[in-house]
Amino acid sequence: MSGKLYIVPTPVGNLEDMTPRAISTLRNADMVLAEDTRTSGILMKHFGIDTRMASHHKFNEHDTLDGLIARLNAGETIALISDAGTPAISDPGFMLVRECRRNKIEVETLPGATAFVPALVNSGLPCEKFCFEGFLPQKKGRSTRLNELATEPRTIIFYESPMRLLKTLEQFCETFGNDREASVSREISKLHNTTHNGTLKELVDYFAVNAPRGEIVIVVAGAKGDEKPAKIDKYAHFKNRNIQTN
């Protein structure tokens, strides 16, 4: 009889967001797959969970698939966690779930923490329809994807690092226009979580003098029906940076 794969969300900030069911699932599993065993070890120790852990991340997930499927087919119960949030949402997990489905192995995903939902609700932008983009390509394909999103009518959600936030907001201004409404949420669920709302230009001005820290979620209003894509000056980013540093 085949085993079962559990997808277990973990807190994105506050450890109290860990659900009793998630704790029980991790305790009762034969093995816990963790994106980073050192990071997850802190969580496991906090809740007194001593289940054996193994690494499962983007650099080894191809190589470990066959062995994990063999364990599951042998009847083991495996729980997959990421460093924070729900696995497979901008984190490893999709490939393992897909392979389990192909092998008719049961998969159950527990409800729980993910960063983009509270950021979306906090933004005050329409929530009934939205598209989740996660992390944009850093180089190849980035401009193309932004241009494709310029006329997207739904609220758009992005993940970004604090080091790239200002550059990304400047690119959004170039593509979506300075007056497009947006919000930037950081440190979701943590002690110093904040959300800043305004136009894209106002957010650029704010973060140009207030360097952000922590994990970032950007929420951008969708395009209005009569809105045309901003006229893009491919050198505008460099011009803006020169203005800010002079």
**What integer pLDDT is reported at residue 232 of this predicted model?**
45
Phi–psi pair at 51, nearest 5 degrees: -60, 140
Average pLDDT over the chain, rounded to an integer:
90
The domain 116-245 belongs to what CATH superfamily? Tetrapyrrole methylase, C-terminal domain (3.30.950.10)
Confidence of residue 1 (pLDDT cuts 50, 70, 90): low
Report whether pLDDT(240) > 80.
Answer: no
**What integer pLDDT is reported at residue 190 of this predicted model?**
87
| Tens of pLDDT, residues 16-60 | 999 999 999 999 999 999 999 999 999 999 999 999 999 998 888
Between CA 223 and CA 24 the distance in angstroms is 44
Q: Report helix, strand or coil for 149.
A: helix
pLDDT average, residue stretch 143-162: 96
Strand spans (E) along 110-215: 130-135, 155-160, 181-186, 194-199
Tell me which of 15-19, 58-62, 156-160 is least confident.
58-62
| Tens of pLDDT, residues 111-142 | 999 999 999 999 999 999 999 999 999 888 99
State the pTM of this model: 0.85
Pairing of strands 181-186, 194-199: antiparallel
**What integer pLDDT is reported at residue 58 of this predicted model?**
85
**What integer pLDDT is reported at residue 228 of this predicted model?**
57
**What integer pLDDT is reported at residue 214 of this predicted model?**
87
CATH number of 4-109: 3.40.1010.10
Segments making up each domain of the chain, as ranges? 4-109, 116-245
**What integer pLDDT is reported at residue 238 of this predicted model?**
43
| Tens of pLDDT, residues 189-229 | 888 899 999 999 999 999 999 988 888 999 999 998 765 55
91, 146, 139: which is closest to 115 by C-alpha? 91
